[in-house]
Structure formats: structure tokens, C-alpha cells
Amino acid sequence: MPAYVGSSTQFLSIPIIQFNLRGQGNSCQVDVEPPISFFEGDTFIGQEYHQSVKLRKVSEGAIKYTMRMEGKNRETFSVDLRAQGHTMSTATGGVLVGEISSSDSITLDLTIRSDEIGPAIAYFFIEIEDGAPISFSC
């Protein structure tokens, strides 16, 4: 039977330390599949092209994320990103904020359009709360 200062029983009479642990003790992890989106084949000026990307959580629990456009190689390249009913347009330079809670993944819908000939590249940055930042490009 343990002995405590100021007590003649097995129970501590004066609480010394009290704490509550809530949530998980590990960091959030997600995968972007595919991490790079190629629009292969012939693409034409002024036409819109669509592709889907999966943002899949690897760790347990809800994951909060913030997505933003990190950069693109020219102003005439338009990339719109839609996730969970919200749209981020590169024309407005916005961000998307959301949460992956009940499902294991969400779908990111990309729509691209260019008014100019030549290679077009856009980079996105995804910040995961309590996790490492990741990125993908198209």
C-alpha cells in the first residue's frame, strides 16, 4: 500500500497534479493523389478542362485544412479549385478552408483554362492543422 504525505490511507488527500488530455497525441497526416496533375494530349486556347484530385486523410480524427494558390507561371492561365461546395479562383487569389471529418477523403475539382499558347503551371499549398504542409501542382 503506497504511503502519501499527510495521509494514513492509500488515497491521496491533497491533489498535487491534475490534467486533462483531449484529442490525439499524434500529428495529422494526409495524402494528395495525384500530387501532380498533368493535362495530357491536345489542349486548346479558350477551352476549359477538368480533373479531380483526392485529399485523403491517413491519421485518425478530423483534419482542418487551408488551401491557397502559391503561384502560377502566367496571368492568362486560370485555375479554379472546388472542394466541399466552396470555390477558390486564382483570379481572386482566394483561399479554401475546410475540414475532413466523417469521410476518409475529399475530392478537389480542378478547372483550367488558358488564353495563350505555351506551358502553364500552377502550384497549390495545403496547410494541415497540427501537421506538415504539403503541396500539389498542375
Q: Which grid cell sits at 37? A: 496533375
Domain boundaries, the chain: 30-137
CA atoms within 13 A on the CB side of 13: 7
Query: Is the model's pLDDT at 130 over the cut of 70?
Result: no
Per-residue confidence band for 35, with pLDDT thresholds at 50, 70 and 90: confident
65-108 pLDDT, tens digit each: 888 888 888 888 888 888 888 887 655 557 888 888 766 888 88
Nearest partner of 67 among 79, 83, 48, judged by Cα = 83
* pTM (predicted TM-score): 0.68
Per-residue confidence band for 134, with pLDDT thresholds at 50, 70 and 90: low
CATH topology of domain 30-137: Immunoglobulin-like (2.60.40)
